[in-house]
Amino acid sequence: MDPASARRVVEEFFAAATSGRTERLVAMLTADATAVSDGAGPARQLLRYKTRERIAS
């Protein structure tokens, strides 16, 4: 992917993620998408999200 196309994808992803329009974000993720977060809490527990819908919520 050329840099201009990559930038457009990142900008579209960021816009979808920050707009609250989860349906657009879900549409951008593959069916087997996963995400890991540190949870940002005092226990620092890893949180795993294994579906597009859970990642987008």
Cα–Cα distance between 22 and 10 in angstroms, integer?
A: 16
The confidence score (pLDDT) of residue 3 equals 95
Per-residue pLDDT of the chain (57 residues; tens, 9 = 90+): 899 999 999 999 899 889 888 888 888 888 898 888 876 667 677 777 787 787 777
Residue 2 sits at φ, ψ, to 5 deg, of -75, 160
Cα–Cα distance between 56 and 2 in angstroms, integer?
A: 26
The confidence score (pLDDT) of residue 21 equals 80
The confidence score (pLDDT) of residue 43 equals 67
Cα–Cα distance between 39 and 45 in angstroms, integer?
A: 6
Domain locations along the chain = 3-56
Would you call 12 helix, strand, or coil by DSSP?
A: helix
Residue 39 tokens read as 């949870």
